[in-house]
Amino acid sequence: MKPEKKRKEKHFKALVAGILSLALALGSASTIFAASSAAFKLEEATIADVHRAMEAGELTCRSLVERYLKQIELYDDQGPSINAIIEINPYALEVADALDKKFAKGGLSGPMHCVPVIVKDNYNTMDMPTTGGSLSLKGFMPYKDAHVVKKLRDAGAVILAKSNLSEFANGTTTYSSLGGQTRNPYDLTRIPGGSSGGTGAAIAANMGLVGLGTETGRSVRGPAAYNGLVGLVPTEGLVSREGIIPLSDHLDRAGPITQTVEDAARMLDIMAGYDPEDPISVEGYGHIPDTYTKALVKDGLKGARLGVLRQGFDPGTIGTADTANPEVLELIEQAIKDLEALGAVIVDDVGAGIDLNEYLSLPGVPYQQKTGINAYLKKYGQFAPVQSFTDIAYSGLIDPNLEAGFRRSAADPETDPESLEFYRGKYNKRLLRNVLTQIMAEHDLDALIYPYNINVAQKIGETMDAGNRFSPNSGLPAIVVPAGFTKDGMPVSLEFLGPAFSEFELIKFAYTYEQATKHRKPPASTPVIE
């Protein structure tokens, strides 16, 4: 167990013991813990479930937060040792108490009242360090929250903990020098996806109610898909990236990772919107509905035209795999049949004759990580533990697997924003967006469908077999939703991709499919102790 986690666990146990002693002395222990009774089922709870229980007097914010902290205590370092959490918010219970007082006076304080959120540790948080999973930034305390984090707090959320990630969001395995290796709760020998794998594993294991991820390549959809969750990546420009450690200015996006489509919609309601500190967010103006929850209808697939993008089934297009898992393909074919049975019009093999690999291989470079991190660190000056990307590269405090690449980037002028390669990357991302949009227009489609990946999560230490790149390399919105499990109990996911700013429609399609099929089930390795 990490010394820092040992300290926090000791502090938490002492705090709980003190609360118990005080309660017993006052003869009120039963009152304090009444909300932790079997009247409220924590496993697979939704935001709406939490709010209904609070309004019925079955749950307090303190008791809810305590129960999620208990899940972390039982399963993150101990038991299966999921290792998803880097930092627990030391003020979480104080925030919970304050929210209980607000509730007693006037009911729910906002749409996210007492929603415990797991935040990927590349989002700035003013009450916890922000490290990118790197020892080089250990203990770094930004002076304010990331824009999205602040919006969630203002809506009543409890920022419960920071989650592990692939260091500085590089990669798909969720290994970092600070956090180590996160495990998949469905199979402890496998990765949870990345780079937001800590968030994915934590939400799957019921260590928090909802989570925040970021995506440059596959980093929201992958952890969601590999952990039997819902992952939504919005159109580029819908959600601010301000206060997030950058990887690529023209590819980075922020999105929710949740157990249900409903909670993803509720999260997007809060996250979407203009932020003057992220100029690209102006592109979302006029594209945000009053609430995405109006898309939560059970007949949302009737008449929807969905195109099956068969190139998304091709090992030559998906990751590095030479073959596809036949169980995965079988489950996706069944999902297509289910969509049709629910009223969708299926148009098969759209885009045939167009080699999408021509476009997929180009926008990935350069990532501009050097320029982005330099600008990020400059904001904090002497308060940052390092002053530049070069300092990080030569610190000796990063994942050794990243060190050589970081040092090359530190010296490479083509990683600068003025480079020809940068503009070539942006240009080809636009080309892919245009091609996918054209495919949808030619067939009068509402969305494209395909598997997130044609294989399940890889074993820890195996060669990377990552998922598809249609959404990140185009900036178009996508949502993954559980489509079943293999015989070995590994999650499989269906992906919907739509035109720019079609999040409302994608949520509608995914919700209808989710509610009709009910594929989501929690991992056996982390049962909730009710």
Number of other CB atoms surrounding residue 501 within 10 Å = 21
Domain presence at residue 47: yes
Question: What six digits make up the tokens of 348?
Answer: 């098969």
Please spell the DSSP secondary structure of 71-95, one letter per residue: HHHHHTSSTT----EEEE-TTHHHH
Q: pTM for the complete prediction?
A: 0.92
> What are the pLDDT digits (tens) for 55-83?
999 999 999 999 999 999 999 999 999 99
- Band of residue 420 on the pLDDT scale cut at 50, 70, 90: low
Domain presence at residue 9: no
CA distance 444 to 441: 5
Domain presence at residue 103: yes
Structural Rg of the chain based on CA atoms: 22
Does pLDDT of 496 surpass 70? yes
Q: Is the dihedral of CA 106, 110, 111, 112 positive or negative?
A: negative
Q: Shortest CA distance to 253 belongs to which of 214, 201, 212? A: 214
CATH of residue 148's domain is 3.90.1300.10
Does pLDDT of 320 surpass 70? no
Q: What's residue 4's pLDDT?
A: 45
- Band of residue 364 on the pLDDT scale cut at 50, 70, 90: very low
Number of other CB atoms surrounding residue 396 within 10 Å = 10
The residue with greater pLDDT, 26 or 352, is 352
Phi–psi pair at 483, nearest 5 degrees: -120, 10
Q: Shortest CA distance to 73 belongs to which of 119, 35, 16? A: 16
CB neighbours of 168 closer than 8 A, spacing ≥ 6? 122, 132, 133, 134, 245, 247, 369, 373, 398, 402
Does pLDDT of 7 surpass 60? no
Any idea which of 30-44, 238-252, 316-330 has the lowest mean pLDDT?
30-44
| Paired strand residues for 123 | 244
The single-letter code of the amino acid at 199 is: T
**498 near 449, Cβ under 8 Å?**
no
Domain presence at residue 13: no
> What are the pLDDT digits (tens) for 203-251?
999 999 999 999 999 999 999 999 999 999 999 999 999 999 999 888 9
Q: What's residue 44's pLDDT?
A: 95
Mean pLDDT in the chain? 91
CB neighbours of 382 closer than 8 A, spacing ≥ 6? none
Please spell the DSSP secondary structure of 342-373, one letter per residue: TT-EEE-STTTT--THHHHTSTT----HHHHH
Please identify every residue annotated as catalytic: 120, 195, 219
Domain presence at residue 379: yes
**292 near 506, Cβ under 8 Å?**
no
Domain presence at residue 353: yes
Containing structural domain, residue 131? 33-517
Domain presence at residue 25: no
Using a CB cutoff of 8 Å and minimum separation of 24, what contacts does 350-353 make?
350/307, 350/308, 350/309, 350/310, 350/439, 350/440, 350/442, 350/443, 350/445, 350/448, 351/307, 351/309, 351/310, 351/311, 351/439, 352/310
- Band of residue 367 on the pLDDT scale cut at 50, 70, 90: low
Any idea which of 103-107, 371-375, 505-509 has the lowest mean pLDDT?
371-375
Domain presence at residue 3: no
Does pLDDT of 427 surpass 70? yes
Mean pLDDT confidence for 239-268: 96
Q: Number of folded domains in the chain?
A: 1
Looking at residue 252, the DSSP 8-state letter turns out to be -
CB neighbours of 460 closer than 8 A, spacing ≥ 6? 173, 181, 183, 189, 190, 191
